[in-house]
Structure 1
Amino acid sequence: MLENPVFSCFVFYSTLLILKMYIIAIITGQVRLRRKAFANPEDAMRHGGEQFCRTDPCVERCRRAHINDMENIFPFLFLGAIYSMTEPSLAVAKGHFLVFFLGRLVHSVAYLCALKAPTRSVAYTIAQVPCVSMVVQILMAVASFA
């Protein structure tokens, strides 16, 4: 499969996206430790006491960024894999994958750093364009078989 240049490109950008998700998870954990805001009593007890089993706005912002990634990156992983099988042009496919990756990267930075609106919304929308394009192309490719 990696001999297919489109699929290899997809694997490259997908791996970067998963790495970005891991980084956000690590950031969330570090913010929890720094803010002493733990989700589980046993973690709170280990780090100072039951009073630290609480929510915190900064931790919640990190968690929402991570959840938003899961809501958007997981569908991209499915769509990109199927799209890669439709034999698209390498340049067009690379454009789809790159735009999605950059859109999600900017979205995460905007979310974590609380950048001024509409930065996050624009990044989200830009990242959705290649997904919609891939959906249309997949449906056109398989329509004759349905």
Structure 2
Amino acid sequence: MAGMISTEAFSCFVFYGVLLVIKMYIIAFITGQVRLRKKAFANPEDALRHGGLQFHREDPYVERCRRAHNNDMENILPFLFLGAIYSLTGPSLAVARFHFLVFFLGRVLHSVAYLLALRAPTRSLAYIVAQIPCVSMALQILAAVAAYA
């Protein structure tokens, strides 16, 4: 990775960030496959291609997959920003890795709970667990730059 910022914390962030992006692609792929299996298409031209306009409809499980994907976008994108900046503030590698791992595991559990409709409050707890490192990173970033503001 010549020419890249190369701190251990940043490399660790990149590892978990890429895993999270791959997870988002997997959820998007699952959503598409469920659409095909359930024959529930959001666009008329897709429905026509797969059997007719009667398949231009919503399906509860397709919508569940879409909500899981949307939730990923709402939470992983801010993590990517916070994690990148946080990793450049000089945190200890162990602490940074813990932040990134907790967020990653929380988001994986959140997606599993969403897609499999696990009993409440599994999904909510996974969401909260994943938010804790983001709040921590945000506060540490603010503390690190407060002297310059």
TM-score normalised over the length of structure 1: 0.99
The sequence identity of aligned pairs, in percent, is: 76
> 1:115 Cα shift?
0.1
Q: TM-score, normalised by structure 2?
A: 0.97
Question: What amino acid is aligned across from residue 15 of structure 1 in structure 2?
Answer: V
1:134 corresponds to 2:137: yes
State the Cα distance separating 1:55 from its structure 2 match.
0.6
Residues 1:67 and 2:92 aligned together: no
* Corresponding position of 2:33: 30
> Cα offset for 1:83?
0.2
The residue number in structure 2 matching 1:41 is 44
Moved over 4 A (4+): none
**CA displacement, residues 14-40 of structure 1 (integer Å, 9 cap, x when unaligned):** 000000000000000000000000000
Distance in 2, matches of 1:143 and 1:42, equals 53
Distance 2:116 2:42 in 1: 22
* Distance in 2 (alpha carbons) for counterparts of 1:85 and 1:97: 14
Q: Supply the distance in 1 between the matched residues of 2:116 and 2:45 (Cα, whole angstroms).
A: 29
Q: What SS does the corresponding residue of 2:46 show, helix, strand or coil?
A: helix
- For residues 33-60 of structure 1, give each alpha carbon's deviation from its aligned partner in whole angstroms, at most 9, with x where no partner exists: 0000000011000000001001110000
Give the Cα–Cα distance (whole angstroms) in 2 for the partners of residues 86 and 27 of structure 1. Answer: 36
Matches of residues 1-146 of structure 1 in structure 2 within 5 Å? 1=4, 3-146=6-149
Please state how far the C-alpha of 1:3 moved relative to its aligned partner. Answer: 2.5
Gaps of 5+ in 1: none
Alignment deviations for residues 69-95 of structure 1 (CA, whole Å, 9 cap, x no partner): 000000000000000110000000000
Q: 1:112 Cα shift?
A: 0.2
2: CA distance, partners of 1:54 / 1:141: 50
5+ long unaligned stretches in structure 2: none
- Taking only aligned residues, the RMSD between alpha carbons, in angstroms, comes to 0.6
1:2 positional shift: 5.0
